[in-house]
Amino acid sequence: MSSIYQELKQECYEANMQLNALNLVIYTFGNVSAVDREKGVFAIKPSGVPYEDLKPEDIVILDFDNNVLEGEMRPSSDTKTHAFLYKNWKEIGGVAHTHATYSVAWAQAQRDVPIFGTTHADHLTTDIPCAPPMRDDLIEGNYEHNTGIQILDCFRDKNLSYEEVQMVLIGNHGPFTWGKNAAKAVYNSKVLEEVSKMAFLTLQINPDAPRLKDSLIKKHYERKHGKNAYYGQK
């Protein structure tokens, strides 16, 4: 008997496999989810399942209150973070979380990733934010739910838009990204990892490397995302 969530499960499965193919995950670490706003549900990878064993039918379906609607396996341990973001940010269609090396290194250093070059500026006009490490009382509480609060607090404190900045580092933890769908969330995870790597290498070559000047930030961002964007094909 086919599931009414079959397309959503397939989307989620393919995004998770792409996360693995792009070398953004170690063993079973990391996860991607995909949302169906009309049905008020999202799909996410089951916890601890090796990517080589994962099948579309293994994907778990939940509502935004973390109730499992379909699936025999336990969902990802990060599920409550995904649910919190979907519930609060109405325009996102996919969320990804990895333990990719350079992204995690910046998170462990508790530092924003500075905007040094045009690769970064092609995707956003600000430094990639790093949320402060979670407070002890939140760690002892509903940890994964509170990770979502941690992300929203970071964006509020830094006055950032989740629609413009589609990535964040969690201090001492790692990256979360999102986008219009699961594939875009994975794309943003790869961008975040590569930009983090480039920034790290930049500081090794020149610890005093200057931030990219505003005119270049504006030019590179707007040629891809501005009202008169001309990058790519129509």
Residues 166-207: tens digit of each pLDDT: 999 999 999 999 999 999 999 999 999 999 999 999 999 999
Query: Could you tell me what percent of the chain has a pLDDT over 70?
Result: 94
Give the CA dihedral 17, 180, 128, 195, nearest 10 degrees.
Answer: 50
Question: Could you tell me where the DSSP H helices lie in the chain?
Answer: 6-21, 79-88, 101-108, 118-121, 136-139, 143-157, 182-205, 214-225
Indicate which residues carry an active-site annotation.
Answer: 122, 231
In this structure, what token pair is assigned to residue 124?
Answer: 């956003």
Residues 55-71: tens digit of each pLDDT: 999 999 999 999 999 99
Contacts of 225 (CB under 8 A, 6+ apart): none
Cα distance between residue 123 and residue 222, in whole Å: 10
pLDDT of res. 234: 60
pLDDT of res. 129: 98
Res. 1: pLDDT tops 60: no
Residues 28-60: tens digit of each pLDDT: 889 999 999 999 999 999 999 999 999 999 999
Residues 128-148: tens digit of each pLDDT: 999 999 988 888 889 999 999
- In this prediction, residue 11 has a pLDDT band, given cuts at 50, 70 and 90, of very high
pLDDT of res. 26: 87
| Position with higher pLDDT, 219 vs 226 | 219
Q: Are 189 and 98 in contact (CB under 8 A)?
A: yes
pTM (2 decimals)?
0.92
